[in-house]
Structure 1
């Protein structure tokens, strides 16, 4: 299994916890907080620990951050914590995938762009699923398969708007 499989696993909280705009915004802010704090706290340890010790420290830090996040949600916003369920704990997968995918050079700039994209995707999915479920009357949009369909439509729209020359390996033969 290569490291790109981690990106597929990191979509679980994004798709499952964005039924409405408020849930999408909450899970997006939680993802930004966890991802940013995880990278910030791991920065002093990155060059001082061996690879196995660094991975263990990363997992322990993620467990602590996820626990604190869920406790804070339960203490200050119980209805949203109950609506999100265990999805904030699954943000640990997203943080692990981010840590393994980011290069050493230009790490913070790419992290900021990635976290902004995650927050934007959460907001778009939440708003789109809420509108489709409540205004358009499509009950499928409030379920997980509807989230996958809507994510596919948003990616297709993004690919259509951001046209550019295709890589030679990806061009089809006539």
Structure 2
């Protein structure tokens, strides 16, 4: 098994915490803040620590960041913090996935693209789920299975609008 299974774990906050546009904005901002602070604070330690010490430092830093984010949400946005539940703490998995999957050269450029794409997906998914649940009357959109179906439809639309070259093994022959 490769390390890409960590990206599947980062879908949990995306699907569970984007019932409305305000929740999508909040979870996207929390993800951007946690990812950027995690990478920024671990940059000086990356070359100085052994692999096991680096993992321990990363986990301790992520625990501290998740606690600070949840305490800040409870202090300033209590109704939204109660609606989000424990999803901001699950952003730690996304930070670990980004830390392990990003290569050392061009790390910041790829991280910024990843964070911007995640934030845009949170916005789009939150807005469309709120519209489908409130305006169109489709109650399934406000539940997690509806979010998974809607995310699949959005990815299919993206693939339709941005076609890439097909792999030679997957091209059909006449």
Provide TM-score, normalisation by structure 2.
0.97
Q: Secondary structure at the match of 1:48?
A: coil
Aligned match of 1:22: 22
Q: 1:25-64 alignment to 2 at 5 Å? A: 25-64=25-64
**In 1, Cα distance between equivalents of 2:99 and 2:40:** 11
The alignment's C-alpha RMSD in Å is 1.0
The Cα shift of 1:102 comes to: 0.4
CA deviation after TM superposition for structure 1 residue 171, in Å: 3.2
Aligned residue pairs, count: 174
1:86 aligns with 2:89: no
Structure 1 Cα separation of the partners of residues 97 and 153 of structure 2 = 24
Aligned partners of 1:39 and 1:148: how far apart in 2? 29
Residue aligning to 1:152: 152
TM-fit CA distance, 1:7: 0.5
Q: Structure 1 stretches (4+) deviating beyond 2 angstroms?
A: 167-174
TM-score when normalising by structure 1 = 0.97
Give secondary structure in 1 for the equivalent of 2:89: coil
Q: Deviations over 1:86-122 (max 9, x none)?
A: 0000000000001111011100000000000000000
Corresponding position: 1:114 with 2:114: yes
* Post-superposition offset of 1:163: 1.1
- Runs of 5+ consecutive residues of structure 1 not aligned to the other structure: none
| Inter-partner Cα distance in structure 1 for 2:116 and 2:152 | 19
Secondary structure at the aligned position of 2:44 is classed as helix
Partner of 1:138: 138
What SS does the corresponding residue of 2:40 show, helix, strand or coil? helix
In 2, Cα distance between the equivalents of 1:17 and 1:147?
Answer: 10
Shift of 1:168: 2.2
- Deviation for aligned residue 1:169: 4.0
